[in-house]
Structures are given as C-alpha cells and as structure tokens.
Copies of this chain bind each other. A is one copy, B any other.
Amino acid sequence: MPLQDRFTAEVTFYVRYAETDAMGVVHHGSYITYFEEGRSNYARQRGSDYASFEREGYYLLVAEVHARYLKPARYGQRVTVCCWINELKSRSLTFAYEILDADTRDLLVTGESKHICITKDGQVTRLPESWRTWDV
C-alpha cells in the first residue's frame, strides 16, 4: 500500500481467465492493462475521466512503462490496483502503481508509467488546467 500522502485511487476486480497464460498465472503483459485501468479509475475519481479528456482533443501518450513482478496472481483472485501521480510537469506526468491481492493486501506487482500530453495532431502541449493540480 503506498505510504506516501498523495491522492491514491483504488479499483478492485477479478482476474479474467483470458488474462492467464500456460504457466497457470496472470500473464505479465496483463498487468500493463491493469495499470491502465488503474489510471482510468484515477481520472474518474478525480472527476475528469480520460474519455472526456480525449474528446477535448488531448491524448496522454505512453512514453515509458516499467513493471516489477513480485508474486503471481491467479484466476479466481481479486486484485486491487492502487494508482497515484508520482511527478507532474507542465507537459508530462508519471503514474505509479501497486497491485495487491484484494483480500490479503499482499503486494503482487509494482510499476510506473510516464506520459506526455499531446494534441490530436501529435503536438506536445501543456496538460489541461484541471489536471495540473493533481500532484497533491
């Protein structure tokens, strides 16, 4: 569980069967989608969902993603994705993630992703005003 004092959004869901692989556990790539769902949920909890962000003509390009796998999750398990903003600049931001077992709160995966704000035609631009106070 993030020890820092920043606003942290949590979302909990069941592992889907399609997200597992032949090793019998959740495929490492599926957590990248869990991270994404974590930041979708973050924006929803902040009252400014990413769908309307895109409708206003902004996109958050993924510039970098990093994941560390500590314990495997399995089908049947419920996981909680914690997401918060690590760093917020005028044109970019970094989200951090912790994925936990929803019941035991065991830490399964940690990660970060760096994003750059662009317009529809691909120009780097400033984050909208409403997002620029999210680093608290």
Interface residues of A (CB under 8 A from B): 13-14, 16-18, 20-25, 27-29, 32-33, 36-37, 40-41, 44, 49-52, 54, 59, 61-69, 74-76
User: Does A16 lie within 8 Å of B32, measured CB to CB?
Assistant: no
Number of copies: 4
Partner of A21, one of B17, B29, B49, B76: B17
Residue of B nearest to A122 (CB): B72
Please determine whether B68 and A63 come into contact, CB atoms closer than 8 angstroms. yes
Interface of A is mostly: mixed
Output the least CB separation between A58 and chain B (Å): 11
CA distance in complex: A132, B126 (Å): 47
The docked-state distance in angstroms from the alpha carbon of A110 to that of B17 is 20
CB distance from A31 to the nearest CB of B (A): 9
A24 to B61, CA, bound (A): 12
| In the complex, chain B residues whose CB is within 8 Å of the CB of A41 | 14
Q: How far is the CA of A50 from the CA of B27 in the complex (A)?
A: 16
